Chain A
Amino acid sequence: MPLGLLKYGLSRTYPVRGDIPQTPELRSSYDVVIVGGGGHGLACAHYLSKYHGIRNVAVLEKGYLAGGNTARNTTTIRSNYITPQSIAFYQEGVKLYEEMSQELDFNVMFSQRGQLTLAHTEASLRSFHLRAEMGKHLGTRIEVVDQKGVKELSPLLNMDHGGPLEIVGGLWHADGGTARHDAVAWGYAGQASRRGVQIHQRTEVEAFEVSNGRVQTIVTNRGRLSCGQVLIAAGGMNYDVALLAGVELPIRCYPLQAMVTQPLKPWLDTLVSSVSLHTYLVQSARGEIVIGGGSDPYQLYSTRSTLDMKEHLAAGAVHLFPFLKSVKVLRQWAGITDMTPDYTPIMGASPLSNLWLDCGWGTWGFKATPVAGKRMGETIATGHVPDILKPFALERFGSFNLINEMGATAASH
């Protein structure tokens, strides 16, 4: 690498590495077809092509590269869940983020600044103790802190409220952080396409032709193709895409809204979230305060924004940091989240033998981008679901083995 850097520095033309190639013609057949050109699908393509030697791969994206939930999330990376299955999985995700810029030879601006989740009630503190002990047991950096600890970690927090919303303590997760979400997708796309993976933008799956328990042919708006294995990693459209193959997933779609303020000088150096206020804040590298919260209160396939949710987020943010009251909102947006009943993803096999699922990512998918891509790549390449993914199978609903992560997921990132 240093030699490459020297060569680059001394070069007269400063050769720019080619970006993601233009969408090529569709071939008639691929070993693996990935439906969804977001972070998860692109990560899977990377792992298939780099570690499993499978390069005859197509990534089909209905819109443009990483324009769905990969671009709409609020970039939180963490592993402070409550069940051992989830903690083990997300912990591997955090580790992969720690080395991602090296892996992709592309700066994803990973910033492991820690996440502070606030408790306003004794009940929240009790659940934090449980999460902290589970996390410590499995080797993550997590601890419960008291009011003094909260104040030290985030000195500008308003601690003087009293009443039902007084901050009584917090959950400090030193492994938490952020990364630039676009860079994550571009990094995986660049690596995968350099190894021969074809990325087809503006290519929508219209039907799956299924016979003998397999997907035989995929019909798209740009033509038909036959496929060895198929992965569904279509974010908010997972339910819809799976239905085309006759697979009905236990998913309901809700919008999730977020917003950013005008840029400010750096003042917030951790992620801060509040369970009771359903609000979380993080300052981006550009100085904007990213503010997010819970999903919309009812089912909807729409990325419209509402004043109600924006008022709610603003109220929560101003409650925690009153000096934000005169700061202007710069942008707002929404994504469609595919929520599962237990707030845990669905990964692994489907009822069809060559159709694999990377679905049910709801409001919690970005942090799992590398680990889901890596482990789904392994699953597709070997035909076996690795142990770390087994608890997340679709069958868990039939056998009533749910993995309840509502408390560690919903509205309290």
Chain B
Amino acid sequence: MKVLTCPMNGPRNIDEFQSFGPVRTMPDPGAASDAEWSRYLFRSENRKGVVVEWWRHVPSNYFFLAERDIVSNEILRTFDPAEFAPPS
């Protein structure tokens, strides 16, 4: 059993969570070109290494962020979205 530590509910079986994939920054829909918009829709971070991704604790419907290494599957940190500073 792999354990994911929810910032609100504490350590839980990862089966209680749903992955929503790496964080993506939405471009301005009015100003973005078709290429930028399709990139935003269809391309997720998949480079080997650490990604910041959305997770949901299903029973409590709480969404949060995790830093996870997608090669070793090590979860480095989980935190509330309020603490997230998107890369500029």
Could you say which residues of chain A place their CB within 8 Å of the CB of B73?
300, 302, 304
Main secondary structure of the interface of A (DSSP, over half): loop
Chain B residue at minimal CB-CB distance from A253: B46
Q: Is residue A323 within 8 Å, beta carbon to beta carbon, of the partner chain?
A: no
Tell me whether A297 is interfacial, beta carbon within 8 Å. Answer: yes
Q: How many A residues, CB 8 Å from partner?
A: 23
Q: Provided the pairs A299-B51, A302-B73 are in contact, do residues A400 and B38 lie with their beta carbons within 8 angstroms?
A: yes
In the bound complex, CA of A299 to CA of B69 (Å): 10
Judged by a CB distance under 8 angstroms, whether A308 is at the interface is yes
A250 CA to B72 CA, complexed, in Å: 22
Query: What CA separation (Å) do A242 and B40 show in the bound complex?
Result: 19
A251 within 8 A of B: yes
Q: Verify B1–A307 contact, CB threshold 8 A.
A: yes
The reply to whether B34 and A398 form a contact with Cβ atoms under 8 Å apart is yes
Query: Complex formed: what's the CA distance from A304 to B19 in Å?
Result: 18
A-B contact count (CB 8 A): 50
Compute how far the CA of A48 lies from the CA of B51 in the bound complex, rounded to whole angstroms.
Answer: 40
A interface footprint on B5-27 (CB within 8 Å = 1, 0 otherwise): 00000000001001101100000
**CB-nearest residue of chain B relative to A304?**
B73
A301 with B71, Cβ < 8 A, contacts A253-B46, A307-B1 known = yes
Contact in complex: A299, B34 (CB < 8 Å): no
In the complex, whether A103 has a CB less than 8 A from a CB of chain B is no
Query: Is A341 in contact with chain B by the CB < 8 A criterion?
Result: yes
Residue of B nearest to A240 (CB): B48
Q: A298-B19, A299-B21, A301-B70 known; A243 and B47 CB under 8 Å?
A: yes
B42 an interface residue at 8 Å Cβ cutoff? yes
List, in ascending order, chain A residues with CB within 8 A of B41's CB. Answer: 341, 397
Docked pose: A261 CA to B41 CA in angstroms: 41
| B35 interface residue (CB < 8 Å to A) | yes
Report how far A243 CA is from B45 CA in the complex, Å: 12
Cβ-defined contact, B48 with A252, below 8 A? no
**Contacts A397-B38, A398-B38 hold; do A302 and B71 have CB atoms under 8 A apart?**
yes
- 17 further interface pairs, Cβ-Cβ under 8 Å (given A300-B73, A301-B71): A250-B42, A250-B44, A298-B19, A298-B53, A299-B19, A299-B21, A299-B22, A299-B44, A299-B46, A299-B70, A301-B48, A302-B72, A304-B73, A397-B41, A398-B35, A398-B38, A400-B38
Chain B interface (Cβ within 8 Å of chain A)? Answer: 1-2, 15, 18-19, 21-22, 34-35, 38, 41-44, 46-48, 51, 53, 70-73
Q: Which residues from chain A sit less than 8 Å from chain B, CB to CB?
A: 239-240, 243, 248, 250-253, 297-302, 304, 306-308, 341, 397-400
